[in-house]
Amino acid sequence: MIQFTNVFKRYENGHEALQNVNFTLQEGEMAFLTGHSGAGKSTLLKLIMRMEVATRGQVMIDGLHLSQLGKRHIPFLRRKIGVVFQDHQLLFDRSVYDNVALPLIIEGMDPKDIAKRVRAALDKVGLLSKEQFTPIMLSGGEQQRVGIARAVVNKPPILLADEPTGNLDPKLSAEIMQLFRQFNAVGVTVLIASHDLNLIGRMGQRMLALTEGSITHDGAPR
């Protein structure tokens, strides 16, 4: 589903953020991506979303060679990928419902289908009763759940998260991780960047570790 082959990424200022990265994440697999600050975690996620392009090597996502992907095909790739950010990037002047509906409105989906999809997504994250709240009325953990509902509302086969629990305490972090596990259990391929090694250890999933842009561990958590 996600395949990196000899991938290098050098930014325009000459900084080599990724060096010879090789790994494959099979369809339906779940893994964590860890490493020190500046190790290249966000860069790797950006290559998957085609927000950045590899300088050398090949990134393949669900059969698409990203280096050969024309600009007009990028939206097609992005629809396959749900993304959760640390700061969840919600619109604070809109309801929970509107925030989750946004990707479907952008896609031009029929409003009747939108309502069904939004409620199904909110139900999965346990927030159905709060659809008319604005994010400001929610706790940090609940806000992150809205971010997750928005990421999965169009049923992408891939879910990426960049430090999704960075602002949460250990108990809430564990709950959010259980949600990712539930999506993975129904077949979604999940890759989560995090530097919380305790949490990763408790999850017991495959761990990829980056050190200065190179993969230095791929396997059970250390």
Ligand X SMILES: Nc1ncnc2c1ncn2[C@@H]1O[C@H](COP(=O)(O)OP(=O)(O)OP(=O)(O)O)[C@@H](O)[C@H]1O
Closest to ligand X by CB, 9 vs 130, is 9
DSSP E strands in 68-205: the ranges are: 81-85, 158-162, 189-193
- Show Cβ contacts of residue 42 under 8 Å, excluding neighbours closer than 6 positions: 162, 193
Q: Which of 176, 181, 123 is nearest to 145 (CA)?
A: 176
Q: Which stretch binds ligand X (CB under 6 A): 36-44, 91-99, 123-131, 136-144?
A: 36-44
Cβ closer to ligand X: 3 or 214? 214
What is the CA angle 207-15-54, rounded to 5?
A: 60
- Choice between 34 and 189, CB closer to ligand X: 34
Is residue 216 within the footprint of ligand X (CB under 6 A)? no
Q: Which of 19, 43, 143, 184 binds ligand X (CB under 6 A)?
A: 43
Report if residue 37 touches ligand X, rule: CB under 6 A: yes
Strand order in the sheet with 214-219: 81-85, 158-162, 189-193, 30-35, 206-211, 214-219
Closest to ligand X by CB, 40 vs 135, is: 40
- 15 binding ligand X? (CB under 6 A): yes
Q: Does 41 bind ligand X (CB under 6 A)?
A: yes
Q: Can you tell me which of 42, 58, 134, 167 binds ligand X, judged by CB under 6 A?
A: 42
Q: Among 7-15, 58-66, 72-80, 176-184, which window interacts with ligand X (CB under 6 A)?
A: 7-15
Instruction: Choose between 41 and 124: whose C-beta lies nearer to ligand X.
Output: 41
In the complex, what is the shortest distance from the CB of residue 105 to ligand X, in angstroms, rounded to a whole number? 30
CA angle, corner 94, sides to 91 and 99, nearest 5? 65
Report residue 210 as tokens: 């980056």
Identify which of 168, 220, 175 has the alpha carbon closest to the alpha carbon of residue 196. Answer: 168
Q: In sequence order, which residues have a C-beta less than 8 Å from that of residue 171 and are 6 or more positions away?
A: none
Q: Which residue has the tokens 């530097």?
A: 195
> Does residue number 13 form part of the binding site for ligand X (CB under 6 A)?
yes
Q: Which is nearer to ligand X, 18 or 30 (CB)?
A: 18
Q: How far apart are CA 127 and CA 48, in angstroms?
A: 29
Asked if residue 35 binds ligand X (CB under 6 A), the reply is yes
Residues that bind ligand X (CB under 6 A): 11, 13, 15, 17, 35, 37-43
